[in-house]
Amino acid sequence: MKIALVGATGLVGSVMLKVLEERNFPVTELLPVASEKSVGKEIEFKGKKYKVVSMTDAIAQKPAIALFSAGGGTSLEWAPKFAEVGTTVIDNSSAWRMDPTKKLVVPEINAHVLSKDDKIIANPNCSTIQMVLALNPLHKKYGIKRIVVSTYQSVTGTGLKAVKQLMQERKNELVKQLQNEKVIPVGEDLAGEIDMAYPYPIDLNVLPHIDVFLENGYTKEEMKMVNETKKIMGDNTIRVTATTVRIPVMGGHSESVNVEFAKDFDLAEVRTILENAPGVIVKDDVKNLQYPMPLLDAHNRDEVFVGRIRRDESQPNTLNMWIVADNLRKGAATNAVQIAECLANNKLV
């Protein structure tokens, strides 16, 4: 199984390598691919060093699967070229998600839609994946009418530059504090200039702005959640409204979800359904202050954690819940590798 990993030197690419190794995916040959400036650099996989190659070199070697995590523009340009030589592309960008000719897959929900003819498969948005994984089994039982979701998303969702901005801001604040306390001399240039990934500071701040704003006043990230949810769950009647927010957090994304069902529900039954859902862990014991958190629960885990499960007392048939997951793993890398496993296990590549 010859595998190309496009974007191998990026944040998600590095996690994909880790997940491929952890899950013992049957890689017989790895082709790490990155931008021209990274060609020739070495990465390590399963104790062996591999040199980064160019797109054209990787295509010439006709890999069975290409895992893409290099941005929408790169995917639009290069994914079809891999597909032309028979490679199945699993793309982590937004480029192909809403293309009606492409499958948008969360394996626990809709792996059955995959076929040998699918040469470009879309990996959903990170915040959508964790929400639908928790909501789909409840939709099957009670029928979802409407979802209201507010997200609390980690800087890791933006990438390495955003992580560096947060850490540099934090360092600069510490330098200023130490100078004010005369621990280090005032005037010493120890902080350094910050390379901004965001239009405003992120440390000690909240940005109600992820991706670009659209004409309807929503951001592209918010509309991704609206449209992708319907496509993955195969139900265009579900109404979804989202507010997506960036916060100075590591470890994963969190979501406050309010969901209205067509039928009434029993809270104990809801918990049982979620406990039995593949890929979901219920952590919900408020008497003992047990609820999911990104850093302490989701970080470096593949599961989606659900807590704060409670009835919305303001209207009938409505549930509140808190959903947390590592956006780099189940929200990106792990879901892509799981799609690759479905293709391999079912001899679709």
Write the CA distances from 125 to 108, 122, 173, integer angstroms: 15, 9, 33
What stretch(es) of the chain map to CATH 3.30.360.10?
128-158+201-327
Q: Which CATH number fits domain 128-158+201-327: 2.60.40.1120, 3.30.360.10, 3.30.750.24, 3.50.50.60?
A: 3.30.360.10
Among residues 139, 209, 253, 342, the one annotated as catalytic is 253
Superfamily of domain covering 2-124+332-345 = NAD(P)-binding Rossmann-like Domain (3.40.50.720)
Question: Considering the entire predicted model, what is its pTM?
Answer: 0.94
Task: Let me know: does 221 contact 256? Beta carbons within 8 Å.
Answer: no
DSSP state of 291: -
Among residues 126, 139, 209, 299, the one annotated as catalytic is 126
- What is d(CA 37, CA 21) in angstroms, rounded to the nearest whole number? 26
Q: Is 342 labeled as catalytic in the residue annotation?
A: no
pLDDT digit string, tens, across residues 255-280:
999 999 999 999 999 999 999 999 99
- The two beta strands, 48-51 and 42-45, are antiparallel
Per-residue pLDDT, 37: 87
Per-residue pLDDT, 174: 73
pLDDT digit string, tens, across residues 128-140:
999 999 999 999 9
Per-residue pLDDT, 180: 76
Task: Let me know: does 228 contact 135? Beta carbons within 8 Å.
Answer: no
What stretch(es) of the chain map to CATH 3.40.50.720?
2-124+332-345
